[in-house]
Amino acid sequence: MDIQKIKILLDKYDKVETSLEEEQMLRDYFARSTNVPDAFESYKAQFQYFESIRADIGRRPELERKLEYLLDRESRVKTIAFYKKKPFSWIAAAAMVIIIGSMILILNRNQEPDLGTFNDPELAYIEAQKTMLYISQTLNYGTKELSRISKINSGVENLRNLEKLNAGFDKLKLLSKIDETSTEVNQ
């Protein structure tokens, strides 16, 4: 196998991105190859170690059975312990919900809800007047800046005199055209 391909596979192996087929290719390479580059010697030792463990488990099936038995027993013990604790935790949670719910009901039982309304019509009228006055003042505050527009309007009034001047210029243009036509006729 090509050394470059092995290097790419080892980089992927270090990043835990290899597939099972690619890992099998690496195992085969290190198992069969006799002259491995020095940079790959640590990988060769690692793959040989994994292969020896796999072979050892294959030769000793009783070890695998013992491990499975111990794991099953441990999971059963944890499951039993969980179920023994479970009723007490459910009872404690239910008691907390009942206590908190009761406290909320007792504290809120005697309070009247604040709907934002008034029982006295005169008091409601006074509050409405205060609110309208506040809104009016707030709106009028923004119109103070608009008072400068009247100064612009007075300047525009002076420009209307220019319209009269423009009408005079139009009459002068007519006179100059009449003058031009009369000079052309004379020639």
> Looking at residue 31, what is its pLDDT?
84
Residue 146 forms part of a structural domain? no
Residue 172 forms part of a structural domain? yes
Q: pLDDT tens digits for the chain (187 residues)?
A: 688 898 898 899 888 888 989 988 888 888 888 888 888 888 888 888 888 877 776 666 677 777 778 777 777 766 666 666 666 677 888 889 999 998 888 887 777 666 667 788 888 889 889 999 888 888 777 666 777 777 777 777 777 777 777 777 888 888 777 777 777 776 6
- Out of 23, 41, 59, a domain closes at 59
Q: Report CA-CA distances (Å) from 80 to 70, 76, 85, 154, 168.
A: 15, 6, 9, 95, 111
Residue 133 forms part of a structural domain? no
Residue 134 forms part of a structural domain? no
Residue 168 forms part of a structural domain? yes
Residue 105 forms part of a structural domain? no
Q: Which two tokens stand for residue 145?
A: 């800046």
Residue 111 forms part of a structural domain? no
Task: Give Cβ neighbours of residue 48 (< 8 Å, ≥ 6 apart).
Answer: 30, 31
> Looking at residue 96, what is its pLDDT?
92
Residue 20 forms part of a structural domain? yes
| pTM, full prediction | 0.33
Which residue range forms the structural domain that includes residue 168?
151-186
> Looking at residue 81, what is its pLDDT?
62
Domain count, the chain: 2
